[in-house]
Every structure is written in C-alpha cells, then in structure tokens.
Amino acid sequence: MAAVALLPCCVCDKFGMQQASRTQVHHCFHGRFSSKKASDFDTIPLCEGHHQGMIDVSKLAIHREKKTWLEHYGPDTGYIEQTTRKALL
C-alpha cells in the first residue's frame, strides 16, 4: 500500500486532469458482494477529490457518488492491473 500511495491518481492520470490533492489508497469495491474490505492488493491510487471528496470538492468522489463515478470512470477494479504494474517498477 505504501507503493500505491506514492503513485499519482489513476483517474486524473487517465483523463488528463490536474491532481490538486494528495494521493490516497482506495480499496476497490465495484463488483464485490461482500461487506468485508478488499485485500490490500486490490487497491488503487486516487487523489482525495476522486476518493473521499471532503477537501477537494472539484472532482467526483467515489465514496460520495458510487454509481455516477462508475458511469464516468468505469469500475474501480479496472485500475488494479495498471496500479500493480506501476507499483512494481
């Protein structure tokens, strides 16, 4: 998770947005049918705006609008593979 926290926000990076807040580690939940938190290996880097949206309110936060976030950016689990590759470099 420490390596993931050092990466830029995967959504800002993919969609050409400027990252205006610190990266946070997000445990993926799209497509999961359990209340148990995802493994630490199923995490992606999101800026605070795309993750919680409590400080940076300029972006669509996954924990505030899960369905809308999914419609705009796709499932959070779709970013795991690229995150793993980048974290291992």
Per-residue confidence band for 88, with pLDDT thresholds at 50, 70 and 90: confident
Residue 47: count of CB within 10 angstroms of its CB: 27
* Pair type for strands 23-27 and 43-47: antiparallel
Query: Measured in whole angstroms, how far is the alpha carbon of residue 36 from the centre of its chain?
Result: 18
Given this model, what pLDDT does residue 14 score? 97
Domain count within the chain:
1
**pLDDT tens-digit profile of 7-37?**
999 999 999 999 999 999 999 988 766 666 7
**pLDDT tens-digit profile of 49-86?**
999 999 999 999 999 999 999 999 999 999 999 999 99
Provide the residue range defining the domain that includes 12: 2-88
| CATH number of the domain bearing residue 48 | 3.30.40
Given this model, what pLDDT does residue 52 score? 97
**Stated pTM of the model:** 0.90
Torsion 84-55-71-14 (CA) sign = negative
Rounded Cα distance, 28 and 75, in Å: 9
